[in-house]
Chain A
Amino acid sequence: MDAIFEDFAAAYAVESGYGLAATISPVPPKHDPARFYSLHRSANAFSVQTELRSKLQYSPIVQLDKQEATAWLEVFVAFHKLTGVLLSAEEAENAGRETEARWGQVYEVWKEVVNALVKGYQSGAFYAWTIPCLYVAGKYLRIFAIKADDSAAAQKGNGFAYGGIQEEDAFGTGGKNEKLEDAARQINRIFGLCVSDRAPLEDSRKWALYYVTNLLFKTYFRLNSISLSKTILRSLAATSSDMPTLELFPKSHQVTYKYYLGVINFLEEDYARAEEELETAYGMCHVGQSKNRQLILTYLIPTKMITKHQLPSRGLLQAHPALSALFTPICTAVRTGNIKALDDALAIGEAEFVKRRVYLTLERSRDVTIRNLFRKVFIAGGFMPLKEGETTPMRRTRIPISEFATAMSIAGAEVSDGEGGIDSDEIECAIANMIYKGFMKGYIAREHGMVVLSKVGAFPNTGV
C-alpha cells in the first residue's frame, strides 16, 4: 500500500503520466516483485478504502481536490481487488493447475479498474497528462481477454464446460473470442473518450488517440474483423482538422500506426499505398526493434514483388532468419523462372502464409516467374543474321508458341493435356496474360502458331 502510494505521489509531483500509469499496471515493478502480495495482505476490501482515502485526500505531497481524490480512490480500490484475483490465478497457473486459473474473472475485475478510470476522465477529474493510464488500461484489457478466452477454450476442450447443456455450444464456434470481443468494445469506449475531448490541444486526451487506435487495430486483426479498422480510420479522418498531426506523436505510435495502415492497404490490394506506408514505418522503426522490423518486412517484401517486381536482397533476408525461411524458396523460384518450385514453395508455406495473410499476394509472383521464364526463351532464341546495312544484330522476335510450351513444360507448369501432350490453349492463355498485363510486348499470331515480340523492349524493365 505504502509503496504504491509513494510511487503515485512521486509521479504525480512531476506530472509523469507513465510513472503514474506504472502504479496501476498489473505487472509489479522489477524492483519490487512482491508488491502485490504485500498490498493484498496489508489491507482488506474495507480497510483499503479508509486508508487510501486519507492518504489521497490529505497527503501534503499531492494535494488532490476532493473529486479527484475520490476518483483515484475508486481506481485503487478496484485495483486492490484485482491483485487478489490476479494472484490466485497466477498461483494456480504456476502450480500447473491451469484449469483453476480464473482468467475470466481477472478480466472482469480489470474491467472494473478500467471503468473507474474512464469514469474519472468522463467527470473531468483527471488531467490529460495522465493518459498513459489509459494505455495500460487498454493494453491489459486485451491481454487478460486473450488469456480468459484461451483458458475457456482449453477447459471446453477438457470437457469441463459440459456441465449443463448450453444452447448451441456444441455446434457453433460462437463465444470463442467472447472476452476479446468485449475488450474491443471497451477499448473502443476509450477511443470515444479521447476523440470526443473538447479541451484545448495542450491539455487534450486526443494525444492518446494513436496509441488507442493501434491497440484497436491489433485487437481487430486478432479477431479477424479487419473491416472494423476502417470505421476507426474514418472517425480519425473526421477529427483530423482539430487534432495534432501524426508527426507530433511519439515515434512508437507513429511507426505502429503506419504499419497497420500499410497492412490494411495491403489487404485491400492497394499496393502502392501499402508500399508507401510500410516503407515509412520501416524507415522510422528503431534499428534495435528487430521483431517490429521483421513484421513490417513480412508485408513490405510481397508488396514490392507486386509493385516493382523487386525481390529482397540476400543480405536483407540473411539479417532476418525467420523471413529468410519464409521467403527464400519463393524468391529463388521467381528468380529462376521455376514454376514447379514456386508452386511447391507456396504449397509448403501455405499455412504460414495464410496465417500472415500474404498467400494471395505471393501467389501473384507467378506472373513474374513466367515472365522470367519467357524472357529466357527469348534470350535463348539468339539473334537474327545481320541484314545489309545493319550493324547491330537483332534478336529473333518471331518465336513459335511451341518453344514457350516446351519451356513451361520444363519449368514444371501443369500444362499437360492429359494425353501425354501439352495443352497449347493454356500456353497461349499464359502468353496472352503476359501481353495483357504488360510483362511482354508483342502479339500472338494464332494462325501461324507464332508469338511476335517487339523489336525494342520486348520485356520492359528487364534490359531486353
Chain B
Amino acid sequence: MAYSMQPAFTPVQARQTLQKPNPSQNQAQPSAQKTSWGQNVRDWVQRAFAEENAIHGIPETEWREYLLTFLPKLQAAGQLDTIDWSTYPTPQELIVAERQQAAYAQSVPNTNMNGYSPFSLSIDGSKKRKSGDLEVPDREPVTPPWKKNKRGLEDRITSKSKTQEKKQKKAKAFQDDLAHHQSNDALERRRQRFGHVSPVSSPMRSRDDTPSTENPTGPVVGTCQRLEKNYFRLTSAPKPEEVRPVPVLEEMFTLLRKKWKTEHKYSYACDQFKSLRQDLTVQHVKTDFTVRVYEAHARIALEIGDLEKRMESVAHALQVRAALASGNFVKFFRLFQATPYLGAYLLDMIVPRERLAALSTICRSYKPDISLDFVVNSLAFHGEDDDSDAAYRNCIQFICDHGGEHLIERKDDGRVRLLTGKAGNTFETAKKAAFRTVDIKGQK
C-alpha cells in the first residue's frame, strides 16, 4: 500500500486571478477586442513575436489564439494596468506553465501525499484543480492536446458522461472558486507557519520554481545531509536539497529507534517517521529498508497507539465477550448495534449464529408464541435506512432460511407471531451446524 506510483506531495495551484471569473465577461469579448491596448501591453505582445522568445513545440498559431482569450479577460477584470508588462512572462511561457500544471493535475488525480490509499481517487479533488487550470472554464476556444488527454483520463476514472460532467462543472464552478480562494489562503498561512517563505507575489513566478526540465513525478535524488527533519506535507515538487538520500535515512532510522527506546517521545518519533517515509517515497525507494521503516512506525504506533480509541474498543470488546459468555443475547445485540469503528464488521461474522443461538433459547423458553416485533428488536434485525419493513422482511427471511417458515403465522388481528411452541429443534439444529462451521473454543 505504501508503494503508490504517485508523487508524495499535493500540488497547489497558484491563483491566476484576483477575482473570480465571471461568465458574463466572455460575452463582452467582441467589443473588448476593438478597444486599443496600452503601449506596455503592445510591447509585451511585440516581445512574443521576437524570435529569441520562441519556444519549441508551441507554434505561433497556438499562442496567438491564447492571447485572444487571455487579454480580453484581463481587461474585463480591470487588471491590465496592475501588471508589470515589462517583466511579465510571454504567452509562450504562460502556455508552458499551463502545460506543466496540467501534467501535474493529470498525474496526480488525488491529493493524498503518503500514498496511503492509492485507490481512493478523489474525483471532486481533481475537478477542483481542473476548474482552476482553465482560466475560462466554460469557454475553451481550442482544446490543446494535453487537455484532451486529461479529459480522456478523467473519463476513465470517473466513468461519467461528458454532459453529466459539464452540468456538474457548471454547478460547481462558483463553489469551487470560493473554496479555492479559501484553501489558498489557508495554505499560505500554513506555509508561513512552517517557516516557508511565501512565494513571490506574482503567481507566475512561483511556477518557475518548479523543475521544468524533468518529469515532475519522477524520483528525486536527495542531497540533504542533515539527519533530523521535521515533517512537512509537500505542496510542490520536493527539492533535492531538502531530501535525504538513503544512507542518511538509514542512519536516522537507527538514531530514531535509539531515541525511541531511551526517550519514548511519541510525537517526536511520529514526526520523524513521517518525514523519513516521505523522503523514501519521493525518491521511490522501495527496498527492505522501506518495509522496516513502515513496520517500525506501525509498531510504535501500536505500542502507544491511539490509546483512548483503543481503550474504547477494548472495553466494548470485553463487554461483547462477557455478553457472549453468559448467553445474554439481549445485551449482545445491543452492543452489536453500538459497536465503535469497524468492529461491527467483525461481529457481522458471528451475528448469524448468535441469532440462531438466541432463537433456540427463545423457542425453548417462550410459550406458546411470541410477537415477531420482539424477535426483530431483540436480535437487532435492521433494514437499510431504518426501513422497518425491511427489518421485518430480513427477519422473516432469516427464519425461513433456517427452516422455520412453518413457524411464522399472521393472526386474525394482523399481528405476526412466531410459534415458539412448535419450533422443536429447528433452530437448535441450525445453531449446531453454524457453530460447527465456525469452530471457536468456548462457544459450544
Enumerate chain A interface residues (CB-CB to B < 8 A).
162, 165, 170-172, 268-269, 360, 363-364, 366-367, 423, 425-426, 428-433, 435-437, 443-446, 452
Contacts and interface: CB of A to CB of B under 8 A. Distances in A.
A425 B328 CA distance: 10
Interface residues of B, number: 30
Interface residues of A, dominant DSSP = helix
A184 to B, nearest CB: 22
Contacts of B296: 171
Given A366-B326, A425-B378, A435-B364, 15 more contacts: A170-B257, A170-B260, A268-B441, A364-B325, A428-B330, A429-B327, A432-B361, A432-B362, A432-B365, A436-B365, A443-B365, A444-B366, A444-B367, A445-B367, A452-B367
16 contacts: A165-B258, A170-B260, A171-B296, A268-B441, A425-B330, A426-B328, A426-B330, A429-B327, A432-B362, A433-B326, A433-B328, A433-B361, A436-B365, A444-B365, A445-B367, A446-B371
B196 interface: no
B325 A363 contact: yes
Contacts of A360: 325, 442
Contacts of A366: 326
A190 B329 CA distance: 50
B303 A443 contact: no
Contacts of B328: 426, 429-430, 433
B434 to A, nearest CB: 16
B261 interface: yes
A296 to B, nearest CB: 23
Contacts of A430: 328
B201 interface: no
A168 to B, nearest CB: 8
A433 B367 CA distance: 14
Nearest to A162: B261
Contacts of A367: 326
Nearest to A442: B365
Contacts of B330: 423, 425-426, 428-429
B442 A436 contact: no
Interface string B387-421: 00000000000000000000000000000000000
B257 A426 contact: no
A435 B365 contact: yes
B374 interface: yes
Nearest to B329: A429
A99 B365 CA distance: 64
Contacts of A428: 330
Nearest to A270: B444
Given A170-B257, A430-B328, A445-B367, A269 B442 contact: yes
A443 B367 contact: yes
A284 B370 CA distance: 54
Interface residues of B, dominant DSSP = helix
B310 to A, nearest CB: 17
Contacts of A172: 299
A423 B334 CA distance: 12
A363 B325 CA distance: 8
Contacts of B331: 426, 429
Interface in B239-295: 254, 257-258, 260-261
A165 B260 CA distance: 12
B54 interface: no
Given A268-B441, A269-B441, A425-B378, A436 B367 contact: no
A423 B371 CA distance: 19
B366 A443 contact: yes
A215 to B, nearest CB: 26
B106 interface: no
Contacts of B254: 165
Interface string B411-441: 0000000000000000000000000000001
Contacts of A426: 328, 330-331
A89 B365 CA distance: 67
Interface string B320-342: 00000111111100000000000
B299 A171 contact: yes
A431 B329 CA distance: 12
Contact of B366 (A171, A363, A432, A433): A432
A436 B300 contact: no
A165 B370 contact: no
B266 to A, nearest CB: 13
Interface in B205-263: 254, 257-258, 260-261
B110 interface: no
B131 interface: no
B390 to A, nearest CB: 23
A264 to B, nearest CB: 12
Nearest to A360: B442
B360 interface: yes
B397 to A, nearest CB: 23
Contacts of A445: 366-367
Contacts of B258: 165
A43 B328 CA distance: 72
Nearest to B303: A171
Nearest to A165: B254
Contacts of B441: 268-269
Interface string B368-380: 0011001000100
